[in-house]
Structure 1
């Protein structure tokens, strides 16, 4: 009799604990979906707004993500050095996001400008054959973005190369603070993705929301379904145990 009561009590504890965890995971996914919907609305508002000048952009509150704002600048490449963000994927192809650093004025932070996506060679020793924008003045209009910091890996892990007398830097994480220390000059807190890059036609991936609200809602449904199935299974086991209840 004691064994049966012990088994029933253990079954109840396991059922309540696991069921609660599954439901909480579903509710968490629903909450993330609501957050993503709000963020998407914010991005749409920023995309529809007029372009900001560089000074106004720098004055924005950096405690909130700056992704999605549109800016218009007159800028000049600091040099012809190409910077390559490693381990990027676009349309199923592995490669790099290429950047150049631009100066807007003598006193303001430099601006990282995305040139676009370029496929990687299977031999990592072979870097993309990219021609940087020459040192001249350009009118650039586009949207800015910030990458979320990975708490497990936010180091640059810089590799420097010289290809045909041209310097290239390959790095692993878009950590603008660390990158500024590397190049020895302050950088703006976000990267500009121009609508049009002069003399270049590289694709420009845009994924400000890696996981959509619909995806989170789908995951929530999966967790709730698992909770329902688990509860049904445990109730069936309880019913079976009652049928064979010892005297």
Structure 2
């Protein structure tokens, strides 16, 4: 009885993990399909950029073409971000939008832009190059995405670092610190702004795509289901087939 219960528990756990991995794969495949479909839609300009959180979520992954001015002095860097298999930092800079006439009364005039990735300094993790600078109004091509994802960190928000290099950023806290309301999400920049910046680090923009993980989740699911199958086979062999064969063997 103990062997049977242990086998049922093991099969139940591994099969559940396999199904969970399949669900993760399906979720990311659906997100990938949404991204592919919205990539073919016209880019949103300043006038069409959503203001409310619900409208922003409904337009996520939509391409954008925005005009505005960089607030370079407010650039912050997100530490412990990987790209291309290497550890580094994401560069975040607010863009003050050049709002068209008639817009701006109930919309934040500034949006946070994920400008790209740079490798970490091997000798000083807090040392970063000055931000790229572009004088005057720029045209930015990008993709409408949620606020930058957060990593686990020790301590309370009050004890979190407030310097240029940070583990996480909170949109409301940034808006309060800057005294400048922000749109509810962020923009992932997909190419150099126009006119292009002068000086500063060369930014990598090989942003994560959900399709990259679909095959990995399916492989994990296969492994979990295989483990469940092995446990069933072993139980049948040692508890049924092997004893039956022994009973059928002729006596010496």
After superposition, where does 1:1-247 map in structure 2 within 5 Å? Answer: 9-59=1-51, 61-62=54-55, 64=57, 67-104=60-97, 105=99, 108-109=107-108, 110-124=110-124, 127-134=127-134, 136-146=136-146, 149-150=149-150, 152-153=152-153, 155=157, 157-160=160-163, 169-194=164-189, 195-197=191-193, 198-199=196-197, 201-209=202-210, 212-239=213-240, 240=242
Structure 2 residue runs of 5 or longer lacking an equivalent are 248-252
Aligned residues: 228
Distance change >3 Å, CA 208–CA 173, structure 1 → 2: farther
Deviation digits for residues 173-194 of structure 1 (CA, Å, limit 9, x no counterpart)? 2432333233232222222233
Distance change >3 Å, CA 174–CA 209, structure 1 → 2: farther
Measured in 1, the distance between the counterparts of 2:68 and 2:57 equals 25
Structure 1 residue runs of 5 or longer lacking an equivalent are 1-8, 161-168
List structure 1 runs of 4+ shifted beyond 4 angstroms: 147-156, 240-244
TM-score (structure 2 length as normaliser):
0.77
Q: How far 1:170 moved relative to its partner?
A: 1.2
TM-score (structure 1 length as normaliser):
0.78
Deviation digits for residues 146-199 of structure 1 (CA, Å, limit 9, x no counterpart)? 257558549593342xxxxxxxx1111243233323323222222223322322
Is 15-24 or 189-198 further displaced after alignment? Answer: 189-198
